[in-house]
Chain A
């Protein structure tokens, strides 16, 4: 490659073509890349292992990978896969091409209240999602907030984030990290702290910056800066509305115990204005399954669809379900058998929906969609239930999530569905194994 700026064709593991340099940091360079099979654009972060190892940070890289694998969300930059050689680690990530929110801000000075609120809403839905998975970001600042081509926010850089396993026995984090201007006082004081609460402080600083165009805590030296942060000493510019002031004041509270909670902020009327929850990725799949339903002739009859013996075996047998090789936790069964007739089961599901305040719609005769009336973390939870008949006295009922947050779905199945259906269930898949 004799010193040439752009090598003719640089292919990574036969899968990605490496393109131009997008940016660089202390340990990593980020390149544009293209998946040779799908032609999708990706961003490839190349980390030099020698550098990272010297600082003892290889463990942190491993942790960042685990965390990013956990947090799939429309407002979080997606890590698609990881590759490695002896000298480098490659993160293949979603390519986000609208630049940094920080840059936009420095060009525009400050945002309008509505503009700032939109980013704040997207930021909080991403951070709330992380917290629900037990992950705190711990390095929230405008540089880690990117914009996609539609001007939507994407949170990046989970390099300093922490998983529940990093919590000490007392449940508090003890490593200090982050950039001072955005860092919560309890983090700076090096006391043990709760990552989720500190993230909320940073969100408060970010909201201030979005609406003010400048930092709430500024000083000509670090000591003075710390002092201001410890006292939460800041002033609002005159254009802040009283509601916006209230929002920031609830977040920039020194005592983490007295700081507003995520729920409190998200339920406030200022936050709720024009707020739409991001949709989960599943909706696309749902659309596809609807299309394939129409082309499947066996589903157009009015008697319950027949489940043949092979379908019965392949869906019910836990010995065929290799997903358990990859998970340490036993996963929730989503399919059960029943002695009741298909129509009796459907009637039961409809009364269950009413009891739980879910909307039930018949998608076909023996396929019901239950949709929550209230918004969840990734939009309204929707569950599709299909009833099949193996024999006149043996029906199979299959649950699947068609929209919403997976965690909420699992909770819904365990807490609401299972107890309520107890009297019509014969057996749940993989659960009657005389353990």
Chain B
């Protein structure tokens, strides 16, 4: 079939949808629909098939220059190869954790790594304070130092069950079990409807009938 040789070039970090589908909760079609979204996000500023930090910020805040500690953390965790850009495979694997069918355990771990700002394997009190300050700044809320200190201490002492001055992953897991709403934003119900949100893949799919 000669007509299939004129395929459009794929993004540099492109991986086969069948491979990604096997490693994530997504079906092959869902991966292909995500590719439609990926193409959109990765070409919004620089058309190179990679999501740059500014493109990520643009998608989240409609503003490419919007600096935000939490968006930065998400970007860094999505960027598995740590080369400053999100490739298609990284995008799909990371979003897989946000799928309603992904395991709770993965979601808890992802949230833990998000809060472990300096990647020491522990969430320290300083890090929690830094995040509270960042949030207050983002929301333009002004609180006295005393109040901030109280908020941080109260939470930290409750989560740090062993009382060793840092929250390890096990303590974090127990804390999440106690307050399940903590991982509410680790699940994106949208991902279940992704094939209907980006239906163009039905025309461009390269899945052979024998593959399914």
Contacts and interface: CB of A to CB of B under 8 A. Distances in A.
Contacts of A325: 37, 41, 59-60
Interface stretch (A78-86, A354-362, A374-382, A412-420): A78-86
> For chain B, what secondary structure do more than half of its interface residues adopt (helix, strand, loop), or is it mixed?
helix
Interface in B171-206: 175, 179-185, 188, 190, 192-197, 199-203, 205-206
Interface stretch (A205-213, A241-249, A340-348, A386-394): A386-394
A336 B159 CA distance: 25
Interface string A79-104: 10111111111000000000000000
Given A309-B155, A322-B188, A391-B147, A317 B70 contact: yes
Interface of A: 12-15, 49, 58, 61-62, 65-66, 68-69, 79, 81-89, 292, 298, 306, 308-327, 330, 337, 390-394, 426-427, 429-430, 432-433, 435
10 contacts: A13-B28, A61-B199, A82-B196, A85-B209, A292-B180, A317-B68, A322-B185, A326-B194, A393-B143, A432-B140
B169 to A, nearest CB: 14
Contact of A62 (B111, B152, B188, B199): B199
A13 B190 contact: no
B196 A427 contact: no
A371 B141 CA distance: 31
A62 B196 CA distance: 9
Interface in B57-112: 59-63, 66, 68-74, 98, 111
Contacts of B184: 314-315
Contact of A318 (B115, B138, B195): B138
A390 B212 CA distance: 51
B176 to A, nearest CB: 9
Question: On chain B, which size bracket covers the interface?
Answer: 35 or more
B41 to A, nearest CB: 7
A18 to B, nearest CB: 11
Contact of A310 (B138, B141, B175, B200): B175
B45 interface: no
A334 B82 CA distance: 34
Given A12-B212, A83-B27, A427-B141, A390 B151 contact: yes
A65 B196 contact: yes
